[in-house]
Amino acid sequence: MRRRAFLLAPLLLPALAVARQPAVTYPAASRATRLVFPRDHGAHPEFRTEWWYVTGALDTAQGEAGFQLTFFRSRPGIAEDLASPIAASQILFAHAALTLPGKPLLHAERAGRANLGAGFATTDCDVHIGAWAMRRSGSGVTEQFRLKLHDPAFGFDLTLKPTQPLLLQGENGWSQKGPRPELASHYVSWPQLQVAGSLTLDGRRQPATGRAWFDHEWSSEVLAAGGVGWDWIGINLDDGGALMAFRIRDGAGATLYAHAALRDAAGRLTQFGAGETSFTPLRRWTSPRSGAHYPVQTEIRCGPHTIETLPVQDAQEIAAHRPLPVSYWEGLVKIRGTLSGRGYLELTGYAGALKL
Amino acid sequence: MKRLAWWLIRAQFQTRRTATALSMLAIALGVALGYAIHLINDAALADFSQAMKSVQGEPDAVVAPQDSAGRVPLALINELAQDEGVALVVPVIETRVRIGELAVRLVGLDVFSAGLLMPDLLPRQGAAISGDNIFEDGMYASPALLARLGSKVPEGTHRAGAGVTATRGDATWSTRIAGDLPAARPDDLLLVADIARVQAHFGPPDGVSEGRIRLAPDTKLANWLAAWKDRLPPGLTLRAAADNQARLSNISRAYRVNLNVLAMVALLTGGFLVFATQLTAVAQRSTQFALLGVLGLAPRMRLAQVLLEGLAIGVPGAAIGLALGWAMAVAFTRLMGGDLGGGFFSGSAPVIAPEALPALGFFSLGCAASLAGALYPAWLNRMQPLAQALKTGFAQRPPHQDDSPRQRGGKVLAVALVAGAALALTQAPAVFDLPLAGYAAIALVLVLGIAAAPLVTQRVFAALARRELAAAERVAVQNVGQAPLMAQVAASGLIVSFALTVSMVTMVSSFRVALEQWLDAVLPAPYYMRSKGLPLPAELLAALERPDAPFARVERMAVGTASLDPQRPPVAVLVRELDRADPSARLPFAGEVFTAPAGNIPVWISEPMQQLYRLQTGQTLRLPLLGREVEVFVGGVWRDYSRQFGAVVIAAVDYRALGGRVEATDLALWPRRDAGDDATAQRWVREQAARHGIDGVGSGEIRALSLDIFDKSFAVTYALEAAAMLIGLFGLAVTLAASVWLRARELATLSALGFDRAMLTRAVMLEGALIAAIGLAVGLACGIAVGAILTHVVNPQAFHWRMDLQIPWLQVLPGAALTLAAGIMASRFAARQATRLPAAQVLASAQ
């Protein structure tokens, strides 16, 4: 899941970061909703926030690389009644990052309003900002995601093929995020995607293969009162299983809500509730840029499992500017403990309190 | 050697102070004028493109509709954005709105993309404004506009948050000023709002007015443009943003070149003055130089010395010119802005930033002019036969030059050849849109005049000399009849200056007569109302419909633009309510008018458009109109002196039939006869104009205003003409005096033979009068020829203005008489010298 978007969602320009009551009523994620695919791979523009998120590990000539590409859709609740096809009622953001061994993290971002250089489909996963795009196509053996991004610093063109079925988080894709039932999202994951394609660095294209994790989540309200940030991880386990875990923290670092889901290699799904899931910082890395102390090495327990995150490198902090200037840590980690694999760890709310 | 050279230069400066100073001044003026024009225009262009960058950013390419009624469809923007060769597409809606009485540019921005390309336009939310952001409501005003709005509202100021109503035609948007544009340029009257808000209120529906494209770093612009050219929907252009620069410099090029030609004329005059001065100096010092020659000064050194003296005039002249030019440019831009009087650039005073290379260029030009002037005298000085010079003084012709009939025949042939060449050049087309061949033809005509003068002189005076004349007259006639060098020099100065004067007067007068006729034709209605570039307020149009409006007839016109060539400024599209069967009632046609074949849409194009795009009456044309290309029939070509870049008229009926909306910007009003006196209509126009902040004037006023502007902008030519005539007269006086000095022995002999002072004076003054008369006669002929070239070649090619030739005899002939009188007065100066000659001494020393 993509908690970062929670703080990004309400928009926009520096002067606009004023909390206010939107004039529209957003639907809440409903437990009764039965998701239908590929329709529900597409956008749900009536919801406040939505994201399509791909993270993964690539095997490249330079060694093991981490990559991520995220598209956010936000319905800020403004310009809804404006009689214009380009009203800023649906806004898209995209972030991309690439972690190469021994190199500074590469990061790029884009933004645009729907129908004016950016867009999304409501029938399938098909979202783009300019030439950056994430699209699903085919079915059965031909089913694949195509990720494209082109930036002066780096780019990639990757094809992701499923090796396993979709993973509906929570109750059939209804994923609770807090103690109150309204604090929930629709949440679909697709772990263990087979990656093939190319990576462009300094204008040179090179082949790349690897494993990826796809998340698609939409909601209108998720963060419990007092929440300042969250820790989240999605792990492609070496044995073919998948583990997702998150917790929402308050200002003191205490857990407000936590949840984990494990699907083993045989496809058996186990959910771990708030009482069974815990995050314990083992080692913190201090960012020289933001001064934030990120618990990059964290112990995660869920049920019988205890694992530890080992970042491939400590400096995987991202300083994003749009829609708001915000720093967070997000990077490739190796997993050791009772389970082993490679995952993406996200740590937000450490560089100052986050505003919604 | 050096000391000798220096000593000679000093002596030369001291003995010929006035002549030297004047030559220097002329060179300085030429350099100053040219340099100032260069500096001002450079600064204005830089300023203008800076302003454009501020508002437009620096895209690699721009996609825009070809005509102002078109739009760039959103689908295309989205398609372009997804092109992998494109880094960014910035969609923009630009329009003009009225706020109170102010016409303001409103830019609809998409802050997501615009922030990267046009950071100067990013709005800043007012500190006091809470809640709403740019997507929700509000406009953001430039500091200059905030100040203007503040001063326009007496009670309370337009602080951020104040209400504001923008109108365009019948569309209105009432909102508030939510903040400012901190990076806007100080003079820009500018509003920025969210692109969707602007679109919702003012359109265009489902499109934007422009897409500015930044390509990915590894995309080649030319390849990318070529790939898109075929995919582009009709009615749109995709052009390299660099074309904007070309278009910008195209706007003022002809005007600049013409000013620069004036500077060249000043430089040439300087060169001529150097020539006249140095020639007399060489003549008067021939004995000195001969002596120096005998003492061992090589002929090469005699040549070098005269050239050096020329440079000694040119170098300080050019240096003064640079300083003067810089000062002129600074003063001019401070006072008037960077507009060169052409009305092309308006806005803030640009900063004059001199650079080394152009300064050096203009400096060299000044030096070159003076060197060129000194060339012939220097050569003559080198060729002087020493012994003869020592004994009898200056030889006006180098030796071995007799005037055999065969040579004379050769000269006639040469003159005829030059005349033929000049004639051929007038038929040549423009080069780079500039009348370069026309200028060359003018130069040839002047050369021709100068070369033909001795031939004419010899013919006329040889015949005259055969008649019985009094002694003094006979002496004068015979002397001039031989066309000595000095007389030729004096005459050529007058020829050139009078020719330039006559040609200018002819051109200006032709233009003025043509302008008056044109104004009569294009202003048929007694009253006009106009709101520049904005649709007229709906309220005003409604008022016209009411029965109490005192008008019998109202004709509306809408003005748009269409771009036929991305490198040229767009042509004006005038949608007019005129009778398709009788367009001549409204348009001053030049040439035939064809009726369009059935089913064809007729348009009538202006002369500049016809020439710029090489169009013919009777042909069809694909005209960008209403966002597509429409095939139209060119029904005729009409005269237009107001839109230099072309205009095309289409009947409102046809425009509506094509699906266009006529948003009137101009009104022509004919008062009702029964609506009382004319004052009623006048009052109505005045009141409505004041109420809506638009122009409302009588045709008489427009006429007077136009002619006034015309007269003012040509006032500078009168000063130039006066300066040219003074220089010509000065040349006459100097060369006559020199020739008297040269002929001291002859005059002394005459005096010894019984010529008294009065007779001598008469002889010299008559000589002056004869030379002046020849100069003026030949000058008049050349002037008319040059005037014809200016009117028929230069003006049409540079400005695409055609007109008939009108020779203002009432100005030219008195001018000639006045110059003749002044020439006679000037020769008095020479005559006085002649009468002061100590005859006995001269005769004695000659032995």
Point out the residue among B82, B125, B136 whose CB comes nearest to the CB of A78: B136
Residue B83 forms contact with A (CB below 8 Å) = yes
Please tell me whether residues A173 and A243 are part of one structural domain. Answer: no
Highest mean pLDDT among A148-157, B142-151, B270-279: A148-157
Closest chain A residue by Cα to residue B122: A13
Q: Is the model more confident about A222 or about B194?
A: B194
Q: Is A200 on the interface with B (CB under 8 A)?
A: no
What CA–CA distance (Å, rounded) separates A83 from A73? 21
The answer to whether the bond into A38 is cis (omega within 30° of 0) is: yes
Q: Are B133 and A11 inside 8 Å of each other by CB? A: yes
Helix axes B242-284, B699-742, angle to 10 degrees: 30
- For the cut 70, the answer to whether the pLDDT of residue A18 exceeds it is no
Structural domain includes residue A16: no
Do residues A325 and A210 both lie within one domain? no
Q: Which residue of A has its CA nearest to B215?
A: A152
Within 478-507 of B, beta carbons closer than 8 Å to A belong to none
Q: Is the Cβ pair B196, A88 closer than 8 Å?
A: yes
Per-residue pLDDT tens over the stretch B207-225: 999 999 988 877 888 888 9
- Determine, for residues B133 and A13 on separate chains, whether the beta-carbon distance falls below 8 Å: yes
Type and span of the H or E element at A7 = helix A4-8
Q: How many domains would you assign to chain A? A: 2
Nearest CA in chain A to B116: A110
A66 and A206 part of one domain: yes
- Centre a 10 Å sphere on the Cβ of residue A280 and count the other Cβ atoms it contains: 11
pLDDT at position B157 is 43
Distance from CA of A20 to the nearest CA of B (A): 7
CB B307 within 8 A of CB B375: yes
Q: Chain B: residue nearest A93 by CA?
A: B112
Answer for the pair B571, B764: CB distance below 8 angstroms, yes or no. Answer: no
Is A130 in contact with B111 (Cβ distance < 8 A)?
Answer: no
Position B407 pLDDT exceeds 80? no
CATH at residue A138: 2.40.370.10
**Which helix (H) or strand (E) is B356 found in, with range?**
helix B356-383
- Encode pLDDT of A28-76 as tens digits: 888 888 999 899 999 999 999 999 999 999 988 888 899 999 999 988 8
End position of a domain, from candidates A188, A220, A252: A220
Measure Cα distances from A333 to A3, A55, A341 in Å. Answer: 18, 11, 9
pLDDT tens-place string over residues B485-517: 777 777 787 888 888 888 888 888 888 888 888
Q: Are residues A208 and A256 in the same domain?
A: no
Residue A106 CB coordination number (10 Å): 17
Hey, where are the domains in chain B?
Answer: 1-58+250-394, 60-240, 532-693
- Is A230 part of any domain? yes
* Cβ separation B200–A87 shorter than 8 A: yes
- Say if residue B311's pLDDT is above 80: yes
A/B interface, count of CB pairs below 8 Å = 100
pLDDT at A234 over 70: yes
Contact A139, A124 (CB under 8 A): no
The residue among B734, B738, B722, B576 whose CA lies nearest residue B647 is: B576
Pick the closest to residue B438 from B450, B449, B429, B447 (CA basis): B429
Look at residue B389 in the predicted model and tell me its pLDDT: 65
Position A331 in a domain: yes
A194 token code pair: 């087979």
How far apart (Å, rounded) are the C-alpha atoms in residues B650 and B634? 10
Q: Lowest-confidence range among B310-324, B385-399, B419-433, B546-560?
A: B385-399
Claim to verify: residue A215 and residue A287 sit in the same structural domain: no
Which residues of chain B are within 8 Å of residue A152 when distances are taken between CB atoms? 87, 216-217
Give CA–CA dist B202/B209, Å, rounded: 11
The mean pLDDT of chain A is 86
Confidence of residue A160 (pLDDT cuts 50, 70, 90): very high
**Binding-face residues of B in 674-713 toward A, CB within 8 A:** none
**Residues in A 143-162 with any Cβ partner in B closer than 8 A:** 148, 150, 152
Most confident among A140-154, B144-158, B672-686, B735-749 (mean pLDDT): A140-154
* C-alpha dihedral (B576, B581, B582, B584), degrees to nearest 10: 70
Name the more confident of A337 and B708: A337
Q: Say if B209 is an interface residue toward chain A (CB within 8 Å).
A: no
pLDDT value, residue B673: 78
In chain A, pLDDT over 70 holds for what percent of residues?
91
Give yes or no for residue B675 having a pLDDT over 60. no
Using the predicted structure, report yes or no on whether residue B345 has a pLDDT greater than 60.
no
- Residues A79-87 have a mean pLDDT of 87
Interchain pair A203, B112: CB under 8 A: no
Q: Is residue A27 part of a domain?
A: no
Q: How confident is the model at residue B200 (pLDDT cuts 50, 70, 90)?
A: very high
The stretch B32-53 carries a mean pLDDT of 75
Residues from chain B contacting residue A128 (CB–CB below 8 Å)? 82
Task: Give me the pLDDT at residue B845, please.
Answer: 59
Which of A113, A130, A133 shows the shortest C-beta gap to B110? A113
Say which residues have a Cβ less than 8 Å from residue B468's Cβ, sequence separation at least 6.
none
**Average pLDDT of the residues in A267-294:** 92
Euclidean distance between the first and the last CA atom of chain B, given in angstroms as a whole number: 32
Question: pLDDT tier at B121 (50, 70, 90 boundaries)?
Answer: confident
Which of A220, A239, A258 is the endpoint of a domain?
A220
Regarding whether A184 and A81 lie in a shared domain, the answer is: yes
Q: What is the mean pLDDT of chain B?
A: 80
Interatomic CA distance for residues A102 and B508, integer angstroms: 77
CA pair distance B506, B804, nearest whole angstrom:
11
| Residue B363 pLDDT greater than 50, yes or no | yes
CB A70 within 8 A of CB A51: yes
Mean pLDDT of A184-204: 91
Q: Say whether pLDDT at B131 is over 60.
A: no
Q: What is the pLDDT of residue A311?
A: 94
User: Is B131 in Cβ contact with A117 (below 8 Å)?
Assistant: no
Contact call for A79 and B112, based on CB within 8 A:
no
Average pLDDT, integer, range B707-722: 75
Segment B322-348 mean pLDDT? 67
**Residue contact B199–A84, C-beta within 8 A:** yes
Mutation target among B133, B173, B210 for the A interface, most CBs of A within 10 A: B133
Q: DSSP characters for B737-787? A: HHHHHHTHHHHHHHHHTT--HHHHHHHHHHHHHHHHHHHHHHHHHHHHHHH
A16, A21, A116, A148: which to substitute to probe chain B, counting the most B Cβ within 10 Å? A116
**Which pLDDT belongs to residue A236?**
95
pLDDT for the residue B492: 80
CB A161 within 8 A of CB A144: yes
Q: Most distant CA pair in chain B: distance in Å?
A: 109
Contacts of A18 in chain B (CB under 8 A): 130-131
CB proximity B192 to A under 8 Å: no
Q: Which two tokens stand for residue A149?
A: 């991004």
Binned at pLDDT 50, 70 and 90, residue B354 comes out as confident
Which domain covers residue A190, as residue numbers? 38-220
Q: Which one of A84, A109, A146, A200 would you mutate to disrupt binding with B, by most B Cβ within 10 Å of its Cβ? A: A84
The pLDDT-based confidence of A183 (bands split at 50, 70, 90) is confident
B113 lies within 8 A of chain A by CB = yes
B130 and A130: CB-CB below 8 Å? no
Q: Considering A187, A220, A253, which residue would you say is the last residue of a domain?
A: A220
Per-residue DSSP letter, A114:
B
Contact by Cβ (8 Å): B546, B691: no
Amino acid A189: pLDDT: 94
Chain B interface, mutation test: which of A8, A11, A12, A13, most B Cβ atoms within 10 Å? A13
Q: Please tell me the distance in Å from A74's CA to the nearest CA on chain B.
A: 14
Considering the domain architecture, whether residues A159 and A233 belong to the same structural domain is answered as no
Q: Identify which has the larger pLDDT, B90 or B182.
A: B90
If you average pLDDT over residues A316-322, what whole number do you get? 80
What residues 292-331 of chain A have any CB closer than 8 A to a CB of chain B?
322
Nearest CA in chain A to B206: A85
Instruction: Give the integer Cα–Cα distance in Å for B228 and A351.
Output: 46
Provide mean pLDDT across the span B350-370.
83
Percent of chain B with pLDDT over 70: 86
At A19, phi and psi to the nearest 5?
A: -70, 130
Which of A15, A84, A117 is facing B125, going by the closest CB pair? Answer: A15
Most distant pair of Cα atoms in chain A: their distance: 57
A243 and A209 share one domain: no
Is the pLDDT at B590 greater than 60? The verdict is yes
Do A243 and A211 belong to one domain? no
B220/A contact by beta carbon, under 8 A? no
Q: Look at A271-285, B290-304, B373-387, B388-402 and tell me which has the smallest mean pLDDT.
A: B388-402
| Weakest-pLDDT range from A106-120, B255-269, B653-667 | B255-269
Asked if the structure places residue A86 within a domain, the reply is: yes
Number of H helices, E strands in chain B: 26, 22
pLDDT band for position A4 (cuts 50, 70, 90): very low
Least confident of A91-95, B91-95, B272-276, B652-656: B272-276
Judge if A254 and A130 occupy the same domain. Answer: no
pLDDT at B296: 76
Identify whether A84 is part of a domain. Answer: yes
Minimal Cβ distance to B194: which of A88, A111, A148: A88
Q: Would you call A23 an interface residue with chain B, using a CB distance cutoff of 8 Å?
A: no
Do residues A172 and A237 both lie within one domain? no
Is A302 found in the same domain as A333? Answer: yes
Q: Is B136 on the interface with A (CB under 8 A)?
A: yes
Q: Given the DSSP bridges, would you call strands B207-208 and A341-347 parallel, antiparallel or unpaired? A: unpaired
